[in-house]
Amino acid sequence: MTKWVYSFGNGSAEGKAEMKNLLGGKGANLAEMSNLGLPVPPGFTVTTEVCTHYYKNGETYPSSLKADVESALAAVGKIAEGTLGDPARPLLVSVRSGARVSMPGMMDTVLNLGLNPATTEGLARLTGNPRFAYDSYRRFIQMYSNVVLGLEHGAFEEILDQEKEDKGYEHDTELEAEDLKRIADRYKAHVKAELGKPFPDDVNDQLWGAIGAVFGSWQSARAKTYRRMYHIPDDWGTAVNVQAMVFGNRGETSATGVAFTRDPSTGEHLLYGEFLINAQGEDVVAGIRTPQPISKIVRERQGGKKPSMEEALPKTFAELNEIAKTLEAHYRDMQDVEFTVQEGKLFMLQTRSGKRTAQASLKIAVDMEKEGLIDRKAAVSRVEPAALDQLLHPTLDPKAEKEQIAIGLSASPGAATGEVAFTADEAEKLAKDGKDVILVRTETSPEDIHGMHAARGILTARGGMTSHAAVVARGMGRPCVCGASMVKIDLAGGVMTCGSHAVKRGEIITIDGASGQVFKGRVPTLQPELTGDFGTLMGWADSIRRLKIRANADTPNDADVARKFGAEGIGLCRTEHMFFEPDRILAVRQMILADDRYDREAALAKLLPMQRGDFEGIFKVMEGLPVTIRLLDPPLHEFLPQKDEEIAEVAKAAGSTPAKLRARLIALHESNPMLGHRGCRLGITYPEIYEMQARAILEAALNVEEQGGKPVELEIMIPLVGFKAELDMLRDRIAQVAEAVKAERKKSLKYMIGTMIELPRAALRAAEIAQTAEFFSFGTNDLTQTTLGMSRDDAGGFLTDYLSKGIIARDPFVTIDVDGVGDLVRIAAERGRKTRANLKLGICGEHGGDPDSIRFCHDSGLDYVSCSPFRVPIARLSAAQAALTIITKAE
């Protein structure tokens, strides 16, 4: 027979900490604290399995649940010496949610349940404190009416404020018993007027109404949103915790508060938190009264005048401090605890692993290892990889005033403030004039690269997490907000509108790439600090991980940033990004406009020394580490202008005519360029392009070696191969160039030739392709597009629906689609290595910086992942945690 209810209290419990999947985090930890002999008010937990049953069976409960709850409630009453609904010795309970992972503020709570006119009078007699009794009753009516009956919280606050105003009171604590009794009556009258029926006085109806409301809150809009944000499965459900009330509002020796065993912002080892005397828990978080610090040292730092808990209730503080040490030692992690002091007696209401900043997370992990609480593996596993973004980019000052005008996707982390520029040329000019710039575009294209580089941050009205703007911004380390659909740009008028807000060219905005928010005006930022703890933890992570971590880097500066963050090579150097530089775009366009191979080679001859110089700079920075260079990939039309005035300007500079340039644009036009004349197909049609690039690469490597640099571990990558014959043909061309360079320089050079696996056919024919390819790099951006038949730039319009309706669990352009795209990766890896046992395997799409995708790469036996430079630390830590998962399973 299934057990639906687990009791705790009086120094023992039926559950324990390891049962959080069944009891929820709160219930499991209440049981654990009871088993530790800590002062926990008695109660019971209705399991998460009841929640699952509730939703699977038309919102009905298991048949035996009512009897189980009655039995558990009687046991609580025996310990607490009271009975629910008994006016002589009333038992009051709290009803709280408790999912298996913490979802702070997302689900509902009801306090003081069990009060009605008779039990309130009884509580007043029993305690000799009518004010306390009626304060508890009016709080219960307000909370129950909001949480269970669905009435707006604000109407009750208005009644309370009116009463205080009539009496000339400023604080709730000035209200007397008769005032509170009158407020309770007005609350009940409001309920009856709104609902047409009285507030429930039957305590059993109250209890089951609250239990149903907690289960119902699992499917509330805010809970669903939170689960989507943090990838919490919908079918986990929540538990319900029913617990005897203890009261922090019973006078000056009573209090309630929240404490952390270490400072959650800095990680400093001290008891940190807030409390209120003569209050209940919601007062601390609701902002009705200003809480006081728990520790004296914190009060002194803040310059507070009111006494800390350490000063006001020294004996209770000392007891709380000892319990905090006990809990931290037991759980081996920083704890977030809730407590109540009832007439001098301390009660623990909750403990859980505390939320913390990235800075605090690093310090706590490193300090706890030094203190002997945890080992290095545990320390590495404690830090959330994605949280490291906070340490690598500026963040908005949380205390600053902000006026939000738009919101989009958090495409690249960091905060930036600057003048609005609507074109790349504007942005570049403003930056040269010493101005900070935010480039605002409907969407970006490769032609905007110079403006993106000049800008402090980028905002686009269209595009998703893997759009051009997002990918390039992450690579550059620029904050970026994409897909802010409420942003409308009037380029001619020089203004953007966001609903009722208008921002003109040159006016200041601030963007937060971590949250996707856009603010009017200047918002102060905080600069990141990389402490010694960062280096310590990263060193531990590097000693654990198997996967190598490379970076996607297209310039010596990118490569230098990547090296500083610990990159062990370059997994993707995109040569086309170099072509957009102002000093070479003209030669590129002349090459595209050329009528024959002779003219193309003349234009390419101008590009050769430029490309060679680019590669030399990168090779010098990388100092012998592997560098994978992808030959030209995008279709040629991306390098040509589209607007009439630009066409005329380019035609004149290129020694051509606007008519000829337009004709070339028409000839290059494709209905679906992503699947068109790009990648290796360009190399097949125009082999001289790839020949020039191969020569530039090989000569650059030789030049660096001859100048005393370390020998380059060179990998030349041919993109978008679908047929072995394509790779063979281009491999032979590169080999011919290599032989020519060898003859000219009287020196040979080692290099590898491989391909990007971006097409399903390439993955399926990997055994054949590996006969030629010496390495595979999975280009999972395009492999996702070609496998799912989705454009990454356009899918944002419907992926939200797919996510909200449960068709997919994660955005496949952010986290790899393990069952589809992932299967192709595994097939290609297995078949490729059957042909070539030492085949090097890596990934260079945006997934290379996503922690869950990195775990997949580790499990699939890849050799390395490659990501944007600023995500290298995230990848290093994620790879270590993936290795620890395997170790843990083995143990």
* Closest listed residue to residue 479, CA positions, set 528, 428, 434, 445: 528
Sign of CA dihedral 352, 357, 360, 365: positive
Work out the angle at residue 482's Cα, subtended by the Cα atoms of residues 481 and 484, and round it to the nearest 5 degrees. 95
* CA neighbor of 851 nearest in space, from 865, 861, 830, 869: 865
**651 touches 660 (CB < 8 A):** yes
Catalytic residue (choose from 190, 393, 468, 577): 468
468 is catalytic: yes
Burial class (CB in 10 A: 0-12, 13-18, 19+), 12: exposed
Across the chain, which distance is largest between two alpha carbons, in Å?
105
| Encoded tokens for 205 | 């109806």
φ, ψ dihedrals at 355, nearest 5°: -65, 145
Give the β-pairing of 864-867 and 840-843.
Answer: parallel
Whether the Cβ atoms of residue 545 and residue 876 lie closer than 8 Å to each other: yes
How far from 123 is each of 89, 97, 128, 205, CA to CA, in Å?
7, 26, 8, 20
| SS3 (DSSP) at 204 | helix
SS3 472: helix
Answer yes or no: 844 catalytic. yes
SS3 891: coil
| Residue 829, CA distances (Å) to 146, 457, 731 in order | 56, 38, 21
Rounded Cα distance, 167 and 178, in Å? 12
Nearest to 613 by CA among 560, 569, 575: 575
As a whole number of angstroms, the distance between CA 561 and CA 576 comes to 20
CA 390: distance to chain centroid?
A: 10
C-alpha 503/C-alpha 404 separation (Å) is: 12
Give the span between the Cα atoms of 203 and 144, in whole angstroms.
Answer: 12
Residue with tokens 């402490």, as numbered in its chain: 531
Provide CB contacts within 8 A for 122, sequence distance 6+.
86, 87, 88, 89, 90
What are residue 573's DSSP bridge partners? 629
Query: How is residue 456 written in tokens?
Result: 């402090």
H or E element, residue 509: strand 508-512
Handedness of CA 754, 755, 756, 760 (dihedral sign): negative
3-state secondary structure of 849: helix
For residue 604, the SS3 value is helix
CB atoms within 10 A of CB 41: 23
Which residue in this structure is represented by tokens 């060193």?
539
Other beta carbons less than 10 A from residue 154's beta carbon? 8
Residue 631 per-residue DSSP state: P
Q: How far apart are CA 530 and CA 103, in angstroms?
A: 29
Rounded Cα–Cα distance for residues 870 and 393 (Å): 9
Selecting among 480, 482, 680, 844, the annotated active-site residue is 844
Q: SS3 for 575?
A: coil
> Which tokens hold the place of 529?
């600090």
Q: Which residues are catalytic?
A: 468, 844
